[in-house]
Amino acid sequence: MREHLVDSLKNSMSYREYMDLLKDLVLTKSTTGEIDQTRVDFTALNFARSQRLNKKFQLSEPEAAFFKDLRVQQTWLVITESWCGDAAQTLPVLHKLAETSENINFRVILRDEYPDLMDHFLTNGTRSIPKLIILNTDLDVMASWGPRTAAATKLVTDYKEKFGKIDAEFKTQLQMWYNKDKGASIVKELTEVISKAEEQERLLLQD
């Protein structure tokens, strides 16, 4: 896996570069990965949603202070695709968390360009995205997170159990949930994930 991590990081994008990519895709009416009209349409929608969150999402002072005070240098590598609806709601929040700390290097790669790496971070056997991989300076995996918060995942599971599959109606419901949650669940879970990861890293350094 280390070889895949090194290769992906070498060719990864900054968040600004990722947003520029989305902008170019919208202008050319295209998408990442396999091209079809549905994905093209979602890419345009996701770009608009990401732009809105980039402008509106704010951390509380205690939330910002927690990430600002992190002492372990780390890289946050996010696996995503432009058409992924969950990514549009998630990446702006993750980036906001990362930019509060000088010890977090935030990078983005596209899933379908790195299938071998993605296969190390499957969710219930699927290549679900977005997926956040948190690495230390030796490129050891400190933690991973995604594709959704526990609360959002429960919504998906409950709907599938009731109706058998995810459809347009559910996607609308999930969007409404994201709008109401305003990133709070993501911040809460990442705070817990990073707290545990940093503690484990400190223990390893002591051994």
Q: Which portions of the chain are predicted below pLDDT 70?
A: 205, 207
Q: In the prediction, which pLDDT does 200 show?
A: 85
Fold of 2-206: Glutaredoxin (3.40.30)
Q: In the prediction, which pLDDT does 207 show?
A: 60
DSSP codes, the chain: -HHHHHHHHHT-B-HHHHHHHHHHHHHTT--SSS--HHHHHHHHHHHHHHHHHHHH----HHHHHHHHT--S-EEEEEEE-TT-HHHHHHHHHHHHHHHT-TTEEEEEEEGGG-HHHHTTS-BTTB--S-EEEEE-TT--EEEEE-SS-HHHHHHHHHHHHHHSS--HHHHHHHHHHHHHHTTHHHHHHHHHHHHHHHHHHHHHHH-
Domain parsing of the chain, residue ranges: 2-206
